[in-house]
Chains A and B, each alone.
Chain A
Amino acid sequence: MKFLSSALFSLFVVVVAAYSLSCFQVSEATQAVVLQFGKPVKTIREPGLYFKLPFVQNVVYFEKRLLEYDAAPRELITRDKQQLVVDNFSRWRIVDPLKFYQTVTTINGAQSRIDDIIYSNLREVVGRTSLTEVVSGDRVALLRGVTTGSNLKAEAYGVEVVDVRIKRADLPAKNEQNVFNRMRTEREQQAKKFRAEGEEEARKIRSQAEKERQVLVAEANREAQVLRGGAEAEATGIYAAAYNRDPEFYNFMRTLEAYRRTISDRTTLVLDPDTEFFSLLESSK
C-alpha cells in the first residue's frame, strides 16, 4: 500500500515534469518556431500540443491573426497635380514565421517595413490617378494594385499584406479654404436663382391674372354692345314698322311732341301773327 502510493506519486511527478519541459501548446491565434540552440528547426502553424527536446530546444511564438497597421496621414500628389492628404491603413499577417523571425523579428519591426513598402506603392499609384478617381472612382481596383505591389515586396519578410485601404482622403487645409469659397459661391448663386425663379413665377401669375381680367371685361363689353345694338336694331324695326303705316301723321305727332319737350319756361318765342294759331287774331282786327 505504501509502496503503491509512493509509486503513484513518483509517476505523477515524472509526468508533470516531462510535460512542462518537453510539451508546448500552440493556440489558434498563434504560430511558432522551434529553435535548437538558436537555430530554427521547425515551424508550427496548426494549433495543438507539440513536443520539443527539453533544454536543447526553445519555442518562439508569433501572432497568426490578422494584424493592423494604421499609417500616419501623408500628402500625396495626384496625376492632375492636386495635393491630397491620404490616411491609409492595412491589414496583414505573418505567413512565414521563420522568415519573419529572421528578417524583422517583431511586429513593430515589420510595421515600419510595411509602411515603407505601402507608402511607395501608394504614392506611385496615386500619382497615376486623378483626384476625382481617388475620391469617387473605383477604389477597390486602385488599391488592389497597391496591395498586389506591396505583397511582392512584403513576401521577403514572411508577411502577407491582405488589404490596403484608404481611410481618409482629404484636401490639405489651404485647399479646403478654396473649396469652401467655391461651395459658398455655388450656394449663393443657387439662392439667387431660387429667389429670381420665385419672382419670375410671381410675375407670370400676376400678369396672367391681369390679362384674364382684361379679357373677361373686354369680352363682356363686346357682348354688351352686341346686345345693346341688337335691341336697338329691333326697336328701330318696330318703330319703322309702326310708323310706316302713316308716316305723315307720325311726322305731325312727333313734331308736336318735340315742341312740348324742347320749349320750356326759359324759352322766348318770337311769333308771326300769320301763324295758323294766331290767324284768327289777325282777321278779327
Chain B
Amino acid sequence: MAGSFGNGAAKPPDPNRIIQEAFDSLGRRFPSGAFGPIAGAIAFALWMASGLYQVGPSEVGVVLRFGAVTQTTPPGLHWHLPWPIERVYKPAVTRVYKDEIGFRTIAVGPPARYRDVTEEARMLTADGNIVELDFIIQYRIKDPVNFLFQVRDPQETLRDSAESAMREVVGSTTIDEALTEGRLEIQTRAQALLQEILDSYKTGLQITTVKLQDVTPPGPVQDAFKDVINAEQDRERAINEAQGFANDIVPKARGTAAQLVNEAQGYAASVVKEAEGAAERFELVSDAYSKAPDVTRKRMYIETLEAILPGIDKFIIKGGTANDVLPLLELGPGSSRREVAE
C-alpha cells in the first residue's frame, strides 16, 4: 500500500535493534559512566526526528494515526509523531493523469505511433451499427483520502467505468451523429456519466477531460462510408455545373430578347418615318398637280416612258395582230417578264 503512492519519509528505526541494544546494556550490568543514558537520549532523538517529512509541490500529505486519518498537510516540511504512532502518504494531487481507450501510444514520437485496440474501440450504436471510437481521459485526484482508502484499484476502476460509460452513451447515439456533429455531445455526456460512476464508487478522482480521438466506421465498411462523402461532392458538383449552364444561357437569352425588341422598335420607327415622308411628299406633289392637272399628268406620263423605254426590247404591233405575231418573236430565255402596256 505504501509503495504505490511513494513514501519519502525517513525510515523509522528498527525496534528489534533498540531492544537488542537495551538487553546488551543490561547484560553489561549497567557499565560505569553516562553511556547508557546518552545512547538512550540519542536513540530517542533519532526516533523523534524520523517524523520529519517533506510534501512536494504537487503533493498533499495524508497523516494517519494508528491507521485513522487525522489530517492532511500542504506542501512544505512537516513533522508527524514517529512510527508506529503516525505515518504519512503523499499522493500527487495536482498532476493530471491520462488514460487511452481504444488505442495505445507505442512511441510518443514525433512521429507518434499508435496501436489500435479494436475490442475496446468497437461499439454498437443506437441504430444497430458498429463504430470504432478512440478516446482519452484526463483526470486528477480531487480527494486524496478517498483515493487512498475507498477503492483498491482506482486506475482499473476508471478504465472499466470509462468503457462502460462511453458504450452507454454511444449506445443511445446513431452512427451518423457519432461520426459527425454528435461528437461534442458524446464527450460531454460520457464525461458526466463517468464522473457520476466514479463519485458513486468514491474513487476520489476528478475527470477533467473526455476527448474523442478517431471516430471511424469499422475497417470493412470504410470504403462505403467514404463513397457517401464522394457522392455528396458529386451532387454538389452536378448542381454547380447546371447552375453554371443556367448562368450562361439566361443572360444571353435576355440579350437576345432585348435585341429583338430593339430591332422591332427600329423597324417601327423607320416604317412610320417613311410613311410620314411619303405622305408629305405626296401632299406636296398633289398640291402642285392640282394647280395644273392636265399638263402635269401628261408630263409625268411621258417622262416615265422616257425613262423606262430606252434600255428594253420593244415591239410595236398593231392591235389585234399581236396574237399571231407573238409566237414568232423568239423571246429569249432571259426575258422572264412580258409586259403589255395599254
Contact = CB atoms under 8 A, between A and B. Distances in A.
B300 A238 contact: no
A278 B297 CA distance: 16
Given A216-B256, A265-B311, A270-B326, A235 B64 contact: no
B317 A266 contact: no
Given A6-B26, A217-B256, A264-B312, 5 more contacts: A165-B197, A198-B238, A224-B264, A234-B272, A269-B338
A277 B286 contact: no
B331 interface: yes
Contacts of A165: 160-161, 164, 197
Interface of A: 1-2, 5-6, 8-10, 12-13, 16-17, 19-20, 25-30, 46-49, 63-68, 70, 89, 91, 131-132, 135-136, 139, 162-163, 165-171, 176, 179-180, 182-184, 187-188, 190-195, 197-199, 201-206, 208-210, 212-214, 216-217, 219-221, 223-225, 227-228, 230-232, 234-236, 238-239, 241-243, 245-246, 249-250, 252-253, 256, 259-260, 262-278, 281
Contact of A48 (B66, B149, B172, B279): B66
A267 B335 contact: yes
A166 B312 CA distance: 117
A136 B178 CA distance: 14
A137 to B, nearest CB: 8
Interface stretch (B73-81, B106-114, B217-225): B217-225
Interface in B272-298: 272, 274-276, 278-280, 282-283, 285-286, 289-290, 293, 297
Contacts of A168: 119-120, 123, 163, 167
Contacts of A267: 312-313, 335, 337-339
Contacts of A197: 235
Nearest to B334: A266
Contact of A195 (B64, B197, B234, B319): B234
Given A16-B15, A277-B302, A227 B64 contact: no
B180 to A, nearest CB: 13
A219 B340 CA distance: 48
A195 B340 CA distance: 77
Interface stretch (B134-142, B208-216, B239-247): B239-247
A80 B228 CA distance: 32
| Chain B: number of interface residues, binned into ranges | 35 or more
B283 to A, nearest CB: 6
A212 B123 contact: no
Name the residue among A194, A209, A270, A276 with the largest chain B CB count within 10 angstroms.
A270
A163 to B, nearest CB: 7
Interface of B: 1, 15, 18-19, 22-23, 25-26, 30, 34, 36-37, 40, 64, 66-69, 84, 119-120, 122-126, 128-130, 145, 148-153, 156-157, 160-161, 163-164, 167-168, 171-172, 175, 197, 200-202, 217-218, 220-221, 224-225, 227-228, 230-232, 234-239, 241-243, 245-246, 249-250, 252-254, 256-261, 263-265, 267-269, 271-272, 274-276, 278-280, 282-283, 285-286, 289-290, 293, 297, 300-302, 304-305, 307-309, 311-319, 322, 326, 329, 331, 334-342
B229 to A, nearest CB: 9
A234 B278 CA distance: 13
Nearest to B149: A28
21 contacts: A9-B22, A9-B36, A13-B22, A67-B152, A165-B164, A176-B218, A180-B218, A198-B237, A198-B238, A209-B250, A227-B267, A228-B268, A241-B279, A242-B278, A262-B339, A264-B311, A268-B314, A269-B339, A270-B326, A271-B317, A277-B301
Chain A interface secondary structure, helix, strand, loop or mixed?
A: helix
B295 to A, nearest CB: 13
Given A9-B36, A231-B269, A271 B341 contact: yes
A245 B283 contact: yes
Contact of A180 (B19, B130, B272, B290): B130
A176 B289 contact: no
Contacts of B253: 212-214, 216-217
A240 to B, nearest CB: 9
Contact of B308 (A2, A228, A259): A259
A210 to B, nearest CB: 7
B246 A205 contact: yes
